[in-house]
Chains A and B, each alone.
Chain A
Amino acid sequence: MELLAFGDTGWGDELFYATLMTIAVSITAMLIGFLFALIFTPLKLSKNKFLNFIANSYTTIIRGVPELLVIYLFFFGGTGAVMFVASIFGYNEYIEINAFITGAFAIGIISGAYSTEVFRGAIQSIDKGQFEAANVLGLNKFGKFFKIILPQTLRLAIPNLSNVWQITLKDTSLISVTGLVEIMRQSYIAAGSTRDPLFFYSFAAVLYLLLTFVSMKLINRLEIRYSRGY
């Protein structure tokens, strides 16, 4: 137990901050994923074949290629890409992107592909009559989307989004390969310096279980809230 003490003698505080880091990366990645879903879901539903093709390539490639490979692409390629864009604008100094942004972006793109599929499914399963009724009521595009379609989409999407959240949360463990100090990386450091990998990795597993357990409880509440009308 002294291994987990807070302060200089144990790893308690380090692991606590690492857990906060995992939560922060997961939430950022999930939000970036929503942004991607916001762009690609309309493309998927569009009648334009070319836009369809773009959105389908995105979801197929991301869901068919290992997460680790995507992370390596961003880890090794991110700096180069940003510097290339900067050089177009005439900035030629070396730019260092921090591990948090690279990691959150890589996981966000992955999470976005799953979110896109979830939103597409949810919107497609909304009854056609709802769209027609909104038109009949004379709502404009925004009113139709935010007042009629979105609330119903959310109700249908939340159970599946909670799966996406779990996948995202677990995927953040892979960012440890880029050196971002989240649960996995901190456990690796602690295991290395105390020579007690069994304890620290098991403790990491407990932390992840705790995170999934708590987030499931919170999501269940959301689910109840959004199905009030049913």
Chain B
Amino acid sequence: MDLELMINSFPKLLTASVITLKLLSVSLIIGLFIGLFFAILRLNKNIFINRFAYGYSYVFRGTPLLVQIFIIYFGLGQIEYLRSTVLWVILKEPYWCAIIAFALNTGAYTSEILRSAFQTIKPGIIEAGKSLGISNKVIFYKIQIPVAIRQSLPAYGNEIILMMKGTSLASTVTIMDLTGVAKYIISTTFKPIEVFIVAGGIYLFMTFIIHNVIKFLEKKYSFN
């Protein structure tokens, strides 16, 4: 055990974890909107819209996140047309490519979570709203969405933790996040166990915080 290395690498890894948190929060926010959008499409009765939304979530859930990042980072740059558009400003940055991939990925999982939450809402709640003379739009935004969010909290909490682990893949496209820096320290010092303990500890701490925040929210918004 090389305690000195562990102590020295801790501040470096801690600063790197800020990047991990940034990647996580930005992609979760974008992913939530994508997920909500596709969940609503999934509830649409039009078969084409429905299939399209299902196809999106099937493809993104059925392929590894690594492939998705590589397609966006290495693949899209190959299209000459894209290089000439404004989009290139975003797509040439590995940071934004990673965020796009993460957001699309978590969006697919979120859409499934929200869809099942929407579908398990008791019809009585919607009927109660209708009998009170509330318009469909208000029922959707003020009743269905809040209830669905409460119901999907446990599953969404898992998704946040999975996504946090997913951000480690950003290190494969040159971003120095927590895993990126950990790998760099390992490959320069050849002390994998020490670095793993420190970096893993930071990840576990973040998992612990997320887990407890979700638990707190679940309690706060529980029906009883």
Which residues from chain B contact A209 at a C-beta distance below 8 Å?
58-59, 62-63
A167: nearest chain-B partner, CB-CB? B162
Flag if B203 contacts A201 (CB, 8 Å). no
Flag if A201 contacts B62 (CB, 8 Å). no
Quote the shortest CB–CB distance from B112 to chain A (angstroms).
12
Partner of B204, one of A61, A73, A204: A61
Partner of A66, one of B58, B71, B77, B179: B179
Is the CB of B79 closer than 8 A to any CB of chain A?
yes
Which stretch in A32-40, A47-55, A128-136, A172-180 binds the other chain?
A172-180
Quote the shortest CB–CB distance from B13 to chain A (angstroms).
11
Known: A198-B76, A202-B71, A205-B67. A72 touches B172 (CB 8 A): no
Flag if B193 contacts A65 (CB, 8 Å). no
A197 to B77, CA, bound (A): 9
Kindly identify, within residues 68 to 83 of chain B, every residue whose CB is under 8 Å from any CB belonging to chain A: 68, 70-71, 74-79
Known: A61-B200, A177-B172, A198-B78. A73 touches B192 (CB 8 A): yes
Chain B window 53-67, contacts with chain A (Cβ cutoff 8 Å), 1 for yes, 0 for no: 000001100111111
Which stretch in B4-12, B134-142, B181-189 binds the other chain?
B181-189
Known: A68-B179, A76-B187, A209-B62. A196 touches B78 (CB 8 A): yes
Kindly identify, within residues 187 to 209 of chain A, every residue whose CB is under 8 Å from any CB belonging to chain B: 187-188, 191, 195-198, 201-202, 204-205, 208-209
B196: nearest chain-A partner, CB-CB? A73
Query: Chain B CB within 10 Å — which of A63, A73, A202 has the most?
Result: A73
Known: A65-B203, A66-B165, A201-B71. A170 touches B63 (CB 8 A): yes
Is the CB of A67 closer than 8 A to any CB of chain B?
yes
Is the CB of A12 closer than 8 A to any CB of chain B?
no
Is the CB of B116 closer than 8 A to any CB of chain A?
no
Known: A67-B165, A68-B171, A173-B66. A198 touches B71 (CB 8 A): yes
A177: nearest chain-B partner, CB-CB? B172
Is the CB of B25 closer than 8 A to any CB of chain A?
no
Flag if A72 contacts B64 (CB, 8 Å). no
A60 to B203, CA, bound (A): 11
Is the CB of B50 closer than 8 A to any CB of chain A?
no
Flag if B161 contacts A64 (CB, 8 Å). yes
> Dominant SS at the A interface?
helix
Which residues from chain A contact B63 at a C-beta distance below 8 Å?
170, 205, 208-209, 212
Which residues from chain A contact B200 at a C-beta distance below 8 Å?
61, 64-65, 69
Kindly identify, within residues 205 to 228 of chain A, every residue whose CB is under 8 Å from any CB belonging to chain B: 205, 208-209, 212-213
Known: A173-B67, A198-B71. A67 touches B168 (CB 8 A): yes
Which residues from chain A contact B164 at a C-beta distance below 8 Å?
66
Is the CB of A80 closer than 8 A to any CB of chain B?
yes
Query: Chain B CB within 10 Å — which of A66, A166, A205 has the most?
Result: A66
Is the CB of A184 closer than 8 A to any CB of chain B?
yes
A18 to B204, CA, bound (A): 34
Partner of A208, one of B62, B74, B166: B62
Which residues from chain B contact A204 at a C-beta distance below 8 Å?
67, 70
Is the CB of A143 closer than 8 A to any CB of chain B?
no
A209 to B64, CA, bound (A): 9
Is the CB of B169 closer than 8 A to any CB of chain A?
yes
A69 to B200, CA, bound (A): 8
B165: nearest chain-A partner, CB-CB? A66
Chain B window 157-180, contacts with chain A (Cβ cutoff 8 Å), 1 for yes, 0 for no: 000010011111101100000010
Q: Which residue numbers of B lie inside 8 Å of A, CB to CB?
A: 58-59, 62-68, 70-71, 74-79, 161, 164-169, 171-172, 179, 182-183, 186-187, 190, 192-193, 196, 199-200, 203-204, 207-208
Q: List 9 A-B contacts (CB under 8 A).
A: A69-B203, A73-B192, A76-B190, A77-B192, A184-B64, A184-B67, A187-B70, A202-B71, A205-B67
